[in-house]
Amino acid sequence: MADPIQPTEAALRMELPTYNMNAQTWFIQLDAIFQARHVTSQQSKFAFVVEKLPAEIAAEVADVLINLPPEKPYEVLRQAILQRTGCSEERKIKDLLTNVTLGDSKPSQLLRRMITLLGNNTISETVLKQMWLEKLQPDIVQILAVLTEVDVHKLASIADKIVDTRPIHKFPLSCHQMTRPRMLTSNFMF
């Protein structure tokens, strides 16, 4: 039997985060808010989630919304959203192996993203470290190579510091600078 809506929960107005395409993280945020606000009713949680769902996600789980489950409606809706809109484990592994790049991220952000894509799958830290290093710039890898006894998380922190201390190069030069060579002048007399 579904648990009754608590009077304090029925009247409660909460600011919930907007749904984003990382449903797993969104539900972690919601669960933390529900816990902090003492929202325990499955039906209240269900109603709060439905209120925040974008139309395309609501359409994806319309069967759950139309046929409200009598038992644990929030959990049923949560699982339906995660399963139907999230990436499969196979897709996450494929992304990890082929699509994940450093881009504008810090090395530690790249590592965290790779670990997130691993999900419940496990690989040795040595393999993870090698996969991560292959996605970094060669000069950073050369510096990190001397740190053989350091775990991958500490290496990521060190790599961030290396990136943060690099001089900033502004390329390309303006068209004017590229076409007119600069003349070096000297005050030396010959």
Q: Is 26 helix (H, G, I), strand (E, B) or coil?
A: helix
Higher-pLDDT residue of 24, 91: 24
In-domain check, residue 174: no
**Which of 31, 58, 85 is a domain's end point?**
85
**Whether residue 9 has pLDDT greater than 60:** no
Minimum mean pLDDT range among 66-70, 169-173, 180-184: 180-184
Q: Are 112 and 78 in contact (CB under 8 A)?
A: no
Listed residue (9, 15, 118, 21) closest to 74, CA to CA: 9
Residue 71 lies in a domain: yes
Using the predicted structure, report yes or no on whether residue 45 has a pLDDT greater than 90.
yes
Q: Show the domain range for 93.
A: 89-165
Q: What is the pLDDT of residue 123?
A: 82
Give a yes or no: residue 173 inside a domain. Answer: no
Q: What is the mean pLDDT of residues 20-41?
A: 88
Give the pLDDT confidence score for residue 88 in this predicted structure: 66
Task: Tell me, yes or no, whether 176 lies in a domain.
Answer: no
Tokens found for residue 90: 């196979």
Span 50-78, average pLDDT: 91
Residue with tokens 């600069």: 182
Indicate if 144 and 132 belong to the same structural domain: yes
58 shares a domain with 112: no
Three-class SS state of 77: helix
Cα atoms in the 13 Å half-sphere on the side-chain side of 23: 18
Number of domain units in the chain: 2
Count CB-CB contacts under 10 A for residue 118.
16
The model's pLDDT over 136-157, given as tens digits with 9 standing for 90+, comes to: 999 999 999 988 888 899 999 9
Instruction: Please tell me the distance from the alpha carbon of residue 43 to that of residue 47, in angstroms, as a whole number.
Output: 6
Q: Indicate whether this model's pTM tops 0.75.
A: no
pLDDT tens-digit readout, 72-130: 999 999 999 988 887 666 677 777 777 778 888 899 999 998 888 887 777 888 888 88
12 shares a domain with 48: yes
pLDDT value at residue 94? 74
Domain final residue, candidates 60, 85, 110: 85
